[in-house]
Amino acid sequence: MKTWLGTGLLAALAAVAGCGSEGGGGDDNTTGTAPTDAVTYWQDAKPILDAKCNGCHTPGGIAPFSLETYDKAYQMREMIKSSTKAGTMPPWPAAKGCSDYLSDRSLTDAQIETLAAWSDGGGVEGDPAKPGAPIDRGPTNDLSRVDLSLEMPVEYTPTKEPDDYRCFVVDWPEAETQYVAGFRANPGNPAVVHHVIAYLVEPGKVADVEAADAAEAGPGYTCYGGPGVQSSWLGAWAPGSLGTDTPAGTGIRVEPGSKVVLQVHYNTLTAGMQSDRTTVDFRLEKSVATEGKIQPWAKPTWLSGNGMLIPAGESDVMHSFGYDITGIGGDPGPITIHSAGLHMHTLGTHGVLRIDRADGTSECMLDIPKWDFHWQGSYSFLEPKTVNPGDKVYLECHWDNSAANQPLIDGVKMPPKDVTWGEGTTDEMCLGTFYITR
């Protein structure tokens, strides 16, 4: 089952800085069709759509329609207004004012108003010869280089509706120790792939994952909360992510003989049971100044028995945990957190990650006020956060386990039941994930 695509250095993805806008010139041509104060597509709406929507709303992209031309945007103008006002588009579930992130795709209030004014004004086209200046995406950590691509062993057609979670076991082909310093997934069929997580299975645990794979017919095996064997995260991809580099000089160590498990979440609601063969790309370094790792974080007692009970029928259940993590897995000492993500399943409603400092202050890392299972991702801090001995990393999750908020499983709405921690679709989790160095 050799699935190595090769280590060729694929072209860098260097953020093509918008080729110097022609705006701002002294050309005082006044023959434009629109009144000078009208909000127009070319001048005002298009730069926002280009910077904040068209990563997904492209032909063949993850979104169900393209917003790349005036005609399309014009047709959709009222929904553009309502979805951006409601905050559902662009998908960026992190609350404003908690922390500053790299590659932030949220809209400013002014941009939301501009799109609304353009829609309210009738969607005026304006003058294509006078496009507005491209919008700077701000500081980013997009994947800068690809050194290794791995592919699902074979094509897979989902068998469960509307959600199929499948784990595919892939060989790690490198003969020497390498450090993963960047990650991206490329859905083979964006119409059905909703998210992808790559897990690392170390050489000593390879037999376990091979057994899990062999125990189920067909390519790969069914998995939901994770691969079900001892493993750690290598990278996660959610729609819209261009892939990310780890912070300079850091990377996750991978030994020869390891396996990578690709967990692919298929959602077949709109496209039906179409086949897919997803690939993942890695940026590799032979050595790094500081080893990084993705540290999952939860209260250990949640994982067994009824340690994290979410009673049937209750509409706001909360579990929280704060702990000094600086002693974990090494000599006690400061830990630097570079990015943070939250993971719950479909009953989740709200989650928070913060640092409660020894001096009584607290610092917000991530606040997801409206949890959406389909848009989980990891958020990289503009300024990494240092956790010192005595500080506590605090995690809080809320769930709605009322009858109204039950998931669809194979097309059927489930009745409420008592829920606890587990890997299945009808179990829950409350997990923080951090990319840390120490």
Q: Which residues bind ligand HEC (CB under 6 A)?
A: 52-53, 55-57, 62-64, 76, 79-80, 83-84, 88-91, 105, 107, 239-240
Instruction: Report the residue number, 61 or 225, with the smaller CB distance to ligand HEC.
Output: 61
* CA torsion, ordered 114, 116, 121, 123, to nearest 10 deg: 90
Closest separation between CB of residue 115 and ligand HEC, Å? Answer: 7
- Shortest Cβ distance from residue 240 to ligand HEC (Å)? 2
Query: Ramachandran region of residue 97, left (φ > 0), alpha (ψ -120 to 50) or beta?
Result: left
User: Looking at beta carbons only, is 64 or 139 nearer to ligand HEC?
Assistant: 64
Q: Are 89 and 1 in contact (CB under 8 A)?
A: no
Please check whether residue 49 is in contact with residue 40, taking contact to mean a CB–CB distance below 8 angstroms: no
Q: Which is closer to ligand HEC, CB of 64 or CB of 257?
A: 64
CB of 410 to ligand HEC, least distance (A): 20
Residue 46 CB, nearest approach to ligand HEC (Å): 11
Q: Which is nearer to ligand HEC, 111 or 425 (CB)?
A: 111
Q: Shortest approach of ligand HEC to residue 185 CB, angstroms?
A: 13
Calculate the alpha carbon distances from 132 to 23, 24, 112, 398 in Å: 6, 9, 16, 43
Closest to ligand HEC by CB, 174 vs 276, is: 276
Longest dimension (CA), the chain: 73
Pick 191 or 328: Cβ nearer ligand HEC: 191
Which of 109-120 are b and which e, b meaning 16 or more Cβ less than 10 Å from the residue's Cβ? eebbebbbebbe
Q: How far is the CB of 101 from ligand HEC (least distance, A)?
A: 14
Which residue, 86 or 215, is less far from ligand HEC as judged by CB? 86
Does residue 162 have a cis bond before it (omega within 30 degrees)? yes
Closest listed residue to residue 407, CA positions, set 416, 398, 399: 416
| Closer residue to ligand HEC (CB): 3 or 380 | 380
* 198: nearest Cα among 255, 259, 112: 259
CB 55 within 8 A of CB 240: yes
CB of 50 to ligand HEC, least distance (A): 9
User: What is the distance between the alpha carbons of residues 4 and 275, in angstroms, rounded to a whole number?
Assistant: 21
**Which CB, 80 or 185, lies closer to ligand HEC?**
80
Q: Residue 220 in contact with residue 168, Cβ under 8 Å?
A: yes
Do you know the residue count of the chain? 438
**Pair 199, 263: CB distance under 8 Å:** yes
- For the bound state, the minimum distance from the C-beta of residue 140 to ligand HEC, rounded and expressed in Å, comes to 14
Question: Which of 393, 351, 355, 396 lies closest to 376 in space, CA to CA?
Answer: 351
Q: Which two tokens stand for residue 202?
A: 């170390």
Shortest separation between residue 83's beta carbon and ligand HEC, angstroms: 4
Q: Which token pair is 409?
A: 């499983």
- In angstroms, the CA 324 to CA 307 distance is 20
User: Residue 364: CB partners within 8 Å, gap ≥ 6?
Assistant: 97, 98, 99, 352, 353, 354
Residue with Cβ nearer ligand HEC (113 or 363): 113
Yes or no: say if 199 and 242 are a contact pair by the CB < 8 Å rule. no
Name the minimum Å distance from CB 80 to ligand HEC: 4
Q: How far is the CB of 86 from ligand HEC (least distance, A)?
A: 7
Which lies closer to ligand HEC via its Cβ, residue 56 or residue 387?
56
Q: How far is CA 172 from CA 57, 159, 198, 299, 437, in A?
A: 33, 27, 12, 31, 23
Query: Nearest residue by C-beta to ligand HEC?
Result: 240
